[in-house]
Amino acid sequence: MVGLHSFNLPYFIFVIRVLSCIAGSHASDQERKIYVVYMGNLGRTEQSSPAYHLNMVKEVVDSRFRGQSLVRSYTRSFNGFAAYLTHEEHEKLARKEEIVSIFPSTTLHTQTTRSWDFMGFDENVRRNPTVESDMIVGVIDTGIWPESESFIDKGFSPPPKKWKGVCKGGQNFTCNNKIIGARYYKSINPSKEDSARDSEGHGSHTSSIAAGNYVKDASFYGIANGTARGGAPSARIATYKVCFPDSGCQSADILAAFDDAIADGVDVISISLGMAEPVKLERDVISIGSFHASQKGILVVQSGGNGLSRSPVTSTVPWTFTVAASTTDRAIITNLVLGNGTTITGKAVNGYDSMKKSFPLGYGTEVTSKCVPPLAQSCSSNCLDERKTQGKIVICSQYGGIVEVSRVGAVGSVIPARSPDVSYVVPLPASGLNAQHFSDLQRYFSSTTNHTVNILKSDAVKNLDAPSVASFSLRGPNVFFPNILKPDVTAPGVEILAAYSPLNSPSQIPQDKRSVKYSVLSGTSMSCPHVAGAAAYVKSVHRDWSPSAVKSALMTTAWRMNASKDPKAEFSYGTGHIDPAKAADPGLVYETLTDDYIGFLCSSGYNSATLSKIFGQSILCPDKNVSKDLNYPAMAFQVMTTKTNSTPFSAEFNRTVTNVGSPNSTYKAITSTSTDYNITVKPSVLKFSTLNEKQSFSVIVNGKISDRGMLSASLEWSDGVHNVRSPIVVYSVDV
């Protein structure tokens, strides 16, 4: 299943739904569900046409069902289809030679812009709006709110000539010279009223972060007031709506969006969606779609995923750009003033005005007439009594309790923070406290019978600790490709103000009747479009760069993060925090081309026959294992020891860099030093005399894995002007 990667819902609403699509479940074998049939690269025309797909379906499907069976045909950018099939029919189809993979379509969910100034990418950065306006960012999401100020087309010329897309946004959806394309895909319960209009807010938010206009004085009820803008404000947006409130985001539809976006001619795709857990690439529509995009020169940026559990980063393939989420120097807090005069700082985005006076606190048995104390204390649903909560601020021992407090119409609520480092929009005056503060509050509550509290409106405060990776941002290592470091980079994804849909309440809780144009969301969903916007900017400066060159530029110029601050170090943030202005002039790039991917996939266990279909050319896998020698801007190697039984290792990485800085330049290798390892770079000086000249080198690391299970080192190529930095990570199987 796939999910939207933002995180504004109370966690209990955020449970991952598994459709009845797990093979071998109790569902009847005769039950029809949507399967995605992936057939690789576009083949000969007659084999990648809807008619051909229909024929394939007819061969296996009972004549009574044939008419409605085929749901989608992918024929523009790669070959495949989606169809309603029974388990038995799917097995018959799977035997066909031309199929690469066949898998049930699953449901994915979605997981101001102070953030740009924070990374030194201010409004005065060198940019060429005319060139930038040729950039098209494709956003695969919940749609867009076309009337938002972030998307008006004042000053925009007609779409660039290369644009081959359409405006098929459905009912009451008009494109303009900013939103130049719109499509929507709904294979489950489609209706005439469907459109590309965003009713959830997520897609408008991500679109405006990537490429929204400059909008002055944007704020959430005055909080985080400032100029909202995207990373590439002059770029165009093409919206591909694949998520709907009733049916989630279907894999079959996401693949259709990729099929169109690639053929429509977008430059960058931003997709803040992901599977709930890592899925092998041949069954992951985002990996498949991104692969074909990369073959056509389109960079796909994906959110790394959110979770409070230990589940690993879900975006794993080397051709997608995987983004973690981190804080900026602006944090949003909500203060409480206790009746005894003490102020407690909590985490919440409280858009309600500060209370004019204190209100009595209510907790547990005081506010219920039917529930046992533990249920009353947690404000479980239908536990609170409206009469007993009137005029009170209700304490709940669980974050989700605020939904019940909203239902009974109490004055406010105090809850434990949903996350120690993130403020979420609350549906009534409320603040979330950390464990220490929450127990202080409980102590205050029992210390007096006259316990009152005043909840103040949120403030934005300076966060001196930034950037640090958010607790919800999923970490590596990479479960499928252990020698590819994931996530690739981090970018702002905490408390981001951006455009929203006025149809959804900002807290996403039904009792909250507010409607806003800008709202605050957190998630890797928000960090992903920051990188997509930055990539569009870099691409506008270097029109001829491959997706891997753009990605390398953003990776090797990233800010160094403090490895000792985060237990997972590079597994949390990859090469570091993006620095878009620097990325326009990286000096050297690590380019990864088709042949590199072929060798890499062969080493990863895909055979020649499968790869021939995926690449659409005859492929013979080499014998040599090059799994850690993919020309990637980061170097990672998993050694087969455990951290408690660590034997010395030696790892060699081979890489090739391309000179994109000054024609005549000399780069020296600078490596990090430690008593834990030795690094040798051969050669340690690279001399270039022309642009686009390539030079190869190898890096040999000798050392021992420490108790931490990983060693963090780095290699930097420096010509005195450019510093081209790659992390080197060697880790044990039980890191």
Ligand X SMILES: *[C@@H]1O[C@H](CO)[C@@H](O)[C@H](O)[C@H]1NC(C)=O
Residues with active-site annotation:
141, 202, 525
The amino acid at residue 133 is S
Does 62 bind ligand X (CB under 6 A)? Our answer is: no
Tell me whether residue 337 is exposed, middle or buried, using C-beta atoms within 10 angstroms of its C-beta: 0 to 12, 13 to 18, 19 or more: middle
Using CB under 6 A as the binding rule, whether residue 227 contacts ligand X is answered as: no
Among residues 341, 357, 618, 720, which is the contact residue for ligand X, using CB under 6 A? 341
> Which one among 452, 511, 546, 706 touches ligand X, defined by CB under 6 A?
452
Smallest CA-to-CA distance from 522 within 424, 382, 631, 440 is with 424
Residues 6+ apart with CB under 8 A from 438: 414, 416
CB nearer ligand X, residue 546 or residue 654: 654
720 binds ligand X (CB under 6 A): no
d(CA 57, CA 89): 9
Q: Which of residues 654-683 bind ligand X (CB under 6 A)?
A: 654, 664, 666, 676-678
Contact range with ligand X by CB under 6 A, out of 28-36, 77-85, 407-415, 558-566: 558-566
CB atoms within 10 A of CB 90: 19
Q: Which residue, 69 or 575, is less far from ligand X as judged by CB?
A: 575
CA-to-CA separations, 180 to 160, 176, 369, 532, 677, in angstroms, rounded: 9, 6, 57, 17, 53
Reading phi first (left if > 0) and then psi (alpha if -120 to 50, else beta), residue 390 is in beta
Q: Indicate whether 444 belongs to the interface with ligand X (CB under 6 A).
A: yes
Q: 38 or 481, CB closer to ligand X?
A: 481
Question: Quick one: 50 or 683, whose CB is closer to ligand X?
Answer: 683
- 516 scored as a contact of ligand X (CB under 6 A): no
* Half-sphere exposure at residue 213, Cβ-oriented, CA atoms within 13 angstroms: 17
Selected binder of ligand X within 222, 374, 391, 420 (CB under 6 A): 222
Q: Taking the complex as a whole, how short is the minimal distance between the CB of residue 273 and ligand X, in angstroms?
A: 25
Residue 718, interface with ligand X (CB under 6 A)? no
**Could you say whether residue 174 binds ligand X (CB under 6 A)?**
no
Q: Is 206 in the site for ligand X (CB under 6 A)?
A: no
Contact 102, 38 (CB under 8 A): yes
**CB count, 10 Å around CB of 684?**
13
Tell me how far apart the alpha carbons of residues 251 and 664 are, in angstroms, rounded to a whole number.
Answer: 48
161 lies in the site for ligand X, by CB under 6 A? no
- Footprint on residues 2-61 left by ligand X (CB under 6 A): none
Nearer to ligand X, 219 or 522 (CB): 219
Q: Please classify residue 702 by burial: count the beta carbons closer than 10 Å to its beta carbon, then call 0-12 exposed, 13-18 middle and 19+ buried.
A: middle
The residue from 45, 564, 645, 690 that contacts ligand X (CB under 6 A) is 564
Q: What tokens were used for 566?
A: 């985060």
Q: Which is nearer to ligand X, 543 or 682 (CB)?
A: 682
Q: How far apart are alpha carbons 19 and 251 in whole angstroms?
A: 12
488 part of the interface to ligand X, by CB under 6 A: no
Tokens of 689: 């005399």
217: contact with ligand X by CB under 6 A = yes
Q: Is residue 436 a contact residue for ligand X (CB under 6 A)? A: no
Q: Interface with ligand X includes 575 (CB under 6 A)?
A: no
Which of 501-528 are b and which e, b meaning 16 or more Cβ less than 10 Å from the residue's Cβ?
bbebbbbbbebbebebbbbbbbbbbbbb
Of 625, 647, 650, 684, the one binding ligand X by CB under 6 A: 625
Among 41, 111, 219, 239, binds ligand X (CB under 6 A): 219
CA distance 635 to 671: 13
SS3 342: coil
Closest CB to ligand X among residues 75, 627: 627
258 near ligand X, judged by CB under 6 A: no
Binding span for ligand X by CB under 6 A among 84-92, 150-158, 340-348, 590-598: 340-348
Of 110-118, 379-387, 515-523, 620-628, which part binds ligand X (CB under 6 A)? 620-628
Question: Are the beta carbons of 285 and 184 closer than 8 angstroms?
Answer: no
Q: Among 342, 382, 594, 673, which residue interacts with ligand X (rule: CB under 6 A)?
A: 342
Contact between 447 and ligand X per CB under 6 A:
yes
Taking alpha carbons only, the member of 559, 119, 533, 534 closest to residue 329 is: 119
Q: How far apart, in whole angstroms, are the C-alpha atoms of residue 98 and residue 81?
A: 12
* 421 lies in the binding site for ligand X (CB under 6 A): no
CA separation for the pair 565, 562 (Å, rounded): 6
Shortest distance, CB of residue 682 to ligand X, whole angstroms?
7
For ligand X, the closer of residues 413 and 483 by Cβ is 483
Strands (E), 152-286: 179-184, 215-220, 223-228, 236-241, 243-244, 248-250, 268-271, 273-275
As measured in angstroms, the least distance from the Cβ of 676 to ligand X is: 6
Does position 340 interact with ligand X (CB under 6 A)? The reply is: yes
Closer by beta carbon to ligand X, 20 or else 340? 340
Residue of 99, 111, 144, 78 whose CA lies nearest to 1: 111
- Collapsing DSSP to helix, strand or coil, 496 comes out as strand
Position 605 contacts ligand X (CB under 6 A): yes
Count helices and strands (H / E) in the chain. 18, 37
CB of 215 to ligand X, least distance (A): 12
Give me the least distance between CB of 406 and ligand X, in Å please: 24
354-393: which residues touch ligand X (CB under 6 A)?
358
CB of 712 to ligand X, least distance (A): 12
450 binds ligand X (CB under 6 A): yes
Task: Say whether residue 515 binds ligand X (CB under 6 A).
Answer: no
Residues 247, 628: Cα–Cα separation, whole Å: 40
Closest separation in Å from C-beta 566 to ligand X: 9
Q: Tell me the residue type at 405.
A: V
Should residue 141 be labelled a site residue for ligand X when binding is judged by CB under 6 A? no
Our finding on whether 225 is near ligand X (CB under 6 A) is yes
Q: What is the DSSP letter of 347?
A: B
# residues near ligand X by CB under 6 A: 39
Nearer to ligand X (CB atom), residue 157 or residue 698 = 698
**Where does this chain bind ligand X (CB under 6 A)?**
147, 172, 217, 219, 222, 225, 338-342, 358, 440, 443-444, 447, 450, 452, 483, 562, 564-565, 603, 605, 625, 627-629, 652, 654, 664, 666, 676-678, 698, 702-704
